[in-house]
Amino acid sequence: HAYETMYGMFLAQRMAEPLKMLEIVQASSACKMNVHFWDRFLPKATKWYAGLTPSCVEEGKNRGVFPKDLKAVFGNQGNAADRNKWIRQTDGHFDFIVDDSSPSNVHILETFMDLWPHIKPGGHYFMEHLQLGRDPTFQRQEWAMSDVLQSWIEQLLISKTCEHCVRDCVGHKCYRWKIPRNVCYIFCQLEACVIGKCITSDAGRPWSPRHQLDINDTKVASTAISCTSGIQVAYSLGHNAHTRKALTDKFSAHAYETMYGMFLAQHMDEPVKMLEIGLGCGMDYGVGGSVAFWDRFLPQATKWYAEFNSSCVEESKERGLIPKELNVVVGNQGDALVRKRWIAQTGGHFDFIVDDGSHRNDHILATFLDLWPHIKPGG
């Protein structure tokens, strides 16, 4: 597997913290489980393990495979009474939980639903081995955990609810699986996913905007990231330092500081290359709001922008709303020839691209397929 991707992204910055974790392990391989990774990766964490048997724990301690003070709870993941017992015995309040146990879709879903309320706000729930979701060797139902996660993702993306529907709905579509409370984001990689929990008092965000930082400079030293979260930095730089008003709707109507902070904050001092589609012409917050944010957030970056309205671009430069030297390509995002011209004019080789353009599904998909080959590896 390649689970270092999600663990590195979401836990590496917390290696020195006294976290509390629970890993649910497979009973068949529990006695051979290697706990040394978590001891090395999170040396200060309080670690609990579930799914073991008393004889396995005793054997592991005698062989020196398990530490003498290993914290273990016993029982069957597929048994609701055992899952409830785990919570009582561990006292819950986990910073994260790892489900590395039964590949059964039913067990994975039921375990998540029981344990999710016991994840702290801002915490994470990791699901491994999701590649077995349609393997008849392990499954006895027509749905896979992948179907559940896709339904939850759509509910995150299409957020307008319809209260009058009999079942839980989004827009005019009813969903078989209602997204649980306080799911803030879902990140999926090869064979696994991680679910992030929102701060309860600020639904939709994994932190509280009340903690906005006082950042008055247009630059933030990389040392700021080590003592505050990248999400807070992105949010704070997305607001006017004096009025506290959002520069764009990315940080008012939406909560995009989550993904920008998570995936880009570590590149704040690097000479990355970016393209944003959509300069803000015709938007309520005005032209150039994103330009101001990116200049503050990524001061060393080479920034390109694509905009449909060429006259708006020229007028905005003349009025001083955007810098005269701003790198802008123009044209209709929905035109394949225009997209090809953008690549030729910008030179491609982007570290990242932001599509904040037409918002049409056909445009979004066609643009992604054309521009994806021009993202650098790791971008």
Structural contact between residues 277 and 354, judged by C-beta atoms closer than 8 angstroms: yes
Percentage of the chain modeled with pLDDT above 90: 60
Residue 318 confidence class, pLDDT cut points 50, 70, 90: very high
What confidence category does residue 373 fall into, taking pLDDT thresholds of 50, 70 and 90? very high
The pLDDT, as a whole number, for residue 219 is 46
CA-nearest of 25, 3, 352, 378 to 189 is 3
Q: Provide the pLDDT for residue 275.
A: 98
CB of 124 closer than 8 Å to CB of 10: yes
Q: What is the pLDDT of residues 2-46, one digit of tens each?
A: 999 999 999 998 999 999 999 998 866 666 666 789 999 999 999
Q: How confident is the model at residue 198 (pLDDT cuts 50, 70, 90)?
A: confident
Whether residue 62 has pLDDT greater than 70: yes
Q: Strands 273-277 and 302-307: what pairing? A: parallel
Phi, psi of 92 (to 5 degrees): 55, -145
In the prediction, which pLDDT does 252 show? 83
Residues, the chain:
379
Residue 29's pLDDT is 63
Report the distance separating Cα 156 and Cα 255, nearest Å. Answer: 12
Residue 237 has pLDDT above 90, yes or no: no
Which distant-in-sequence residues (6+ apart) come within 8 Å of 203 by Cβ?
A: 182
Structure tokens belonging to residue 262: 């998570």
Amino acid at 194: V
| Number of Cβ atoms within 10 Å of the Cβ of 326 | 16
Mean pLDDT value across the chain: 86
213 versus 133: the higher-pLDDT residue is 133
Which distant-in-sequence residues (6+ apart) come within 8 Å of 256 by Cβ? 250
Note the pLDDT tens digit of each residue in 246-287: 888 898 888 898 899 889 998 999 999 999 999 988 877 778
The lowest-confidence range among 2-6, 176-180, 190-194, 295-299 is: 176-180
Give residues with Cβ within 8 angstroms of 131, minimum separation 6: 190, 191
DSSP 254-307: S-THHHHHHHHGGGTTS--EEEEE---TT-TT-TTHHHHHHHHH-TT-EEEEEE
Instruction: Give the side-chain half-sphere CA count within 13 A for 264.
Output: 26
pTM of the predicted structure, to 2 decimals? 0.87
Beta-carbon contacts of 7 under 8 Å, excluding residues fewer than 6 positions away, are 41, 126
- The pLDDT value given to residue 47: 96
124 or 216, which is more confident?
124
202 CB burial (10 A radius; 0-12, 13-18, 19+): middle
pLDDT at position 201 over 60: no
First vs last C-alpha separation in the chain: 21
Least confident of 8-12, 48-52, 198-202, 338-342: 198-202
According to DSSP, the β-strands at 46-52 and 20-25 are parallel
Q: Indicate the pLDDT class of residue 244, thresholds 50, 70 and 90.
A: confident
Q: What SS3 state is found at 149? A: helix
Contacts 24+ apart (CB under 8 A), 293-296: 293/237, 293/238, 293/247, 293/248, 293/250, 293/251, 295/218, 296/218, 296/219, 296/220, 296/237
Q: For position 374, what pLDDT does the model report?
A: 98
What integer pLDDT is reported at residue 165 of this predicted model?
A: 40
